[in-house]
Amino acid sequence: MPRVSEVEDDGGDPTLAATFSKEREIFGDLLNPTKVLAHCPPILRAAKLLGQSIEQSGQLPKSLPPLIYLRVASINGCPF
């Protein structure tokens, strides 16, 4: 059982609505970090922008971030 409740309904918040819609389109559902960070939409937005900035920086080959995400999920015992 999670210690922090997970938010799965946007409650009419435009930031959450946009983020939730995009994630559901890409992944079929919401990722767990999104559900937890959704308690504070400005922090969720900032975290998403940070991730985008890292991916778009050109410092890593485009094929590497998905492999990193998969490896970290595997190390942590989380399905991805």
- Give whole-number Cα distances, 77 to 18, 26, 53, 66, 74, in Å: 29, 22, 26, 16, 5
> What total of structural domains would you count in the chain?
1
User: Is residue 2 one of the residues assigned to a domain?
Assistant: no
Write out the two tokens for 54.
């890292």
pTM of full prediction above 0.85: no
80 inside domain:
no
For the stretch 13-62, pLDDT in tens is 999 999 999 999 998 999 889 999 999 999 999 999 998 998 889 898 98
The residue segments making up the domain with residue 39 are: 14-75
- On whether residue 5 sits in a domain, the answer given is no
